[in-house]
Structure formats: structure tokens, C-alpha cells
Amino acid sequence: MMIESVQAKCGCVSAKVNNGTKDFYLHSSYDPLKEAAKLVASYNIIPGSTIVVYGVGLGYHVREMLNRTGPEGRVILFQLGVDIFRKITGIVNLADILNDSRVTTIITDDKGKLTEELALHITEIIDSRGQLIIHRPSLDLLPATAIEIKQALEEWEITKATQQRFLPLLQENLKSNMSYCQGIPRIEELFGRFTSIPIVLVAGGPSLDDELENLRYFAKRNKGLIIAVGTSLKPLIEKGITPHLAIITDPQPIVKEQIRGLKLHVPLIILPTVHPVVIESYAGLKILACQKGLDSINELCSDDSILVETGGSVTTTMLDIALKMGGDPLVFIGVDLAYPGGKTHASNTMYQQIIGDLRMKDNHLRLVRNNRGEKVRTSKVFDIYRKWIEDRIAREKRVTFYNTSLDGAAIKGTTVISLAELIDKLPSRNKKIII
């Protein structure tokens, strides 16, 4: 790792790095101070807040954070690589930062310790007004052996940014929906009612196309309960499959397209933060599920035991609800969490696309293993959902999970099987399943 001092156009010190694969600047080669101010200004830092920072850099961004958080604030500064830190301090004097009582530094070569400390401090700020800020050029200082740390940092950053981006819309939707939601049935009335009944969870991934005929047979033989996300409803209805429950959670108005023109009256699970257009447009029964992690939800759901974990997506929300309903086994259909064959979603869905050029240089893409052991492209966001599902599965020691997507991302804790094969293993039920 070569790090050399260079003078920026503004006269400030910057640094040029060669990490063995590419050359890059640790800070702007024009104006590092202006760059730092722009980075920090993009976050809503309030006086007295706690900021978790990965990447010491040359300290420009850290000083800017300290200015904004004020005398009562706190900055927790992380860097993997003691030798890298020595090279940095050989270029600039960071004594003012390192000796500041508001700053805690964790500089180590121990990847396990760094990950543990990061997780600890990020957990502290995740439900508060604190911030996670990543100095992105510092991620390129990480060795190839630390790829999991890089991915975890990117995932935490995406999660926090998504929460902040949608919070105003969530609050606005909640306010609009409050009166309506107080008068409808609640999802906890279904908790524990379907113990040991198979529940199929239908998402809108490309592999749904391959299982529609088998799913129709599953429904006809009354093999179990079917819950479908809004994206998958049109392909199901066109195939003559009526799920027992549907679920829509998106707070954005475009979600109306999932149900436009559908003559469907199955119960629809909604969050109180769903866009009001769903409530207005869907003629069938609505069932309320309140989510964890939203402080203002207390007026509707004050009992924590009935809150559902959303995991950031409708599919992860559906999984938590199915578990609370008592389902066993749980069967994933269309939960690809990847782009097999360059496809984003199943046919006849509102999001259906074929991405012809999935280049790994694109910043949002990753390679993961599919259920055939082959590499498949996925997005960072899909990978976050996959890991959330794996963590949720790991907490359920007595439930069996099946995954029918051969070409989708492998999900740890699931048994891979085609729905046709699984149907033969499941008994038909004499009594019709009624919600």
C-alpha cells in the first residue's frame, strides 16, 4: 500500500494512494476542505449528536463533523490497519483530533475486534439521531481479506440512509391513515392460528414464472396457505391462483400499480405507513400490521409483542408475519434476491425488466452464489435482505424452510427443492383454509 503526500490545487495537503489494483486520491486533488464540508453537509447532524465514522483519511471530514456536532457531541473514529494509520499521520498532524476529548479512536489490525466494535456502536445510534458516516475512499484502503467489513459498512450505510430518506413520507402516510387504521382488523388476530400448516410466501422474483403451474396445483390440492406480495398478484391472478392473503407495505404512490385493475377481494395486510392510495384503491378487507422501529406508531400499537419486524422490504415483513402465524414449513417462491439471466422480476409484474449489461464495475452490484453453486449478480440492497432473512431463519430452530429458486441467491438455512417435488411430500387438507 503506497500513500504519498500531494498538494491540492487549493494549496491544502491531499494524498495519492496505490492499493495494488488502482490509483486514487484519499481526498480531493482540488479542494479537500470544500469536499469535506459538502460530505458532512449531506447529513443531518445536530448539536450533541453521536457520529460513527469509518475512515480517518487526513482528518478534514472529522474536523468538519466536530464543528457541527459541537461541544456536547461525540465522534467514534474507526480505521482498519495500524500501518495505514502511521502512514497517514506521517503526512499530516492529527494531534488536534486524537487529543480531542469528544473523539474515540479505534485503530486496529484485528478485523474481528473492528467488526464487533462497529456493530456495537452502530446499534447504539441506529434508533437515535446519531449518524453513520463512511469516508468512501478509505474503503479502498481495506485489503481483499476484509471484503466482509466493506460490505457490512455499505449495508449499514444503505439501511440508515433509507430510513432517513423515507421517514418524512412514513410520518405523512401514518398521519393520513391513522383514523382508518384504528377501525380495521389487526394481524395479531392471526398469530398462532396456523400452527404446523405449510405457508407459501410468494414474491415477485424471476423464478416465480417457473412455479406458477405448480403453485396452482398446490392451491387446488389445498396443501397450505398462500401469502403473496403485491408485485406477484397480477401473475397469480392471470394463472387462476387466488392467494389467501396479500401484503403491500410500500409508502410510495407508485404502489397503486400493483393492484390497478385487479378484481381481487382477499384480505390485504398493510402497514399504517403504506401510501393512502392503497387504502383508497383496494376494495377488499384490509388487515393492519404495525412495524417495529417507528416511534410514532405507539398511538396504534402500544404493545411491543404484537409488532412485526419489517427487515426493510415487503418480503422480509411477510416472512416475520408468517412465522408469527405459526406456519411450518415455510416455502419461498420467487424470492430470488438476485438477477438470474439479467431479469429483475417475474413476467407480467410492474417492475419486470431485463438488464442486458450487468457489469460488476457498477457500484450497486455484487456476486453471490446461487442454489446451483454458480455465481449470480445481485444488488447491495437485495443482499441486505438476504442476510436479514438468514438471521431471521437462524432464530427459528423448529421451523423448516424451503427455497424453490434454483437460480436465485442461496439463502442459508433453507432446503432447496422444486415446488413440484415438495407438493408430493405435503398432505392435502380436508378442511378449507379460512382466514
Distance separating alpha carbons of residues 117 and 80, to the nearest angstrom: 12
Q: What residues pair up with 343 in beta bridges, in sequence order? A: 354
- For residue 4, the surrounding DSSP H or E stretch is strand 2-7
**What average pLDDT does this structure show over 73-82?**
95
Q: For residue 167, what pLDDT is reported?
A: 81
Q: Which residues contact 72 (CB under 8 A, 6 or more apart)?
A: 47, 48
Residue 356 has pLDDT above 60, yes or no: no
If you compute the radius of gyration of the chain from its CA atoms, what whole number of angstroms results? 24
Region of poorest pLDDT, from 115-129, 200-214, 236-250: 115-129
CB hemisphere CA count around 304 (13 angstroms): 2
Confidence of residue 21 (pLDDT cuts 50, 70, 90): confident
Q: Of the ranges 80-84, 129-133, 326-330, which one carries the lowest mean pLDDT score?
A: 129-133
Most confident of 92-106, 131-145, 152-166: 92-106
CB 327 within 8 A of CB 225: yes
Please list, in sequence order, all residues whose beta carbon lies within 8 angstroms of the beta carbon of residue 38, skipping any fewer than 6 positions away: none
Are the C-beta atoms of 10 and 37 separated by less than 8 Å?
A: no
Single-letter amino acid, residue 386: R
Residue 360 has pLDDT above 50, yes or no: no
The lowest-confidence range among 115-119, 195-199, 271-275 is: 115-119
- Do residues 377 and 358 make contact, with C-beta atoms less than 8 angstroms apart? yes
Lowest mean pLDDT among 26-30, 128-132, 200-204: 128-132
Q: Which residue in 141, 135, 119, 158 sits closest to 21, CA to CA?
A: 141
Distance from the first to the final alpha carbon of the chain: 61
pTM: 0.77
Where are the chain's structural domains? 37-142, 180-425
What is the rounded distance in angstroms from the CA atom of residue 271 to the CA atom of residue 180?
A: 12
Predicted confidence (pLDDT) at residue 42 exceeds the cutoff of 70: yes
Helix H or strand E encompassing 25 = strand 23-25
pLDDT exceeding 90 applies to what percent of the chain? 71
Which residue in this structure is represented by grid cell 390497478? 260
Confidence label for 182 from pLDDT (cuts 50, 70 and 90): very high
Distance CA 81, CA 106 (A): 10
Residues 149-164: b if buried by 16+ CB within 10 A, e if exposed: bbbbbbbbbbbbeeee
334 near 211, Cβ under 8 Å? Answer: yes
Q: In CATH, which of 1.10.10, 3.30.160, 3.40.50, 1.10.8 is domain 37-142?
A: 3.40.50
Q: For residues 115 and 390, what is the distance between their CA atoms, to the nearest angstrom?
A: 19
- Residue 335 near residue 408 (C-beta atoms within 8 A): yes
pLDDT in tens, 293-306: 777 787 788 787 78
CA distance 151 to 134: 12
Cα gap 375→355, rounded to integer Å: 17
| Amino acid, single-letter form, for residue 410 | A
What tens digit of pLDDT does each residue of 255-271 get? 999 998 888 889 999 99
Q: 362: pLDDT confidence band, cut at 50, 70 and 90?
A: low
Q: What pLDDT band is residue 353 in, cutting at 50, 70 and 90?
A: low
Determine whether 173 is exposed, middle or buried from the number of CB atoms within 10 Å of its CB (0-12, 13-18, 19+): buried
CA distances for 120 relative to 53, 108, 125, angstroms: 13, 16, 9
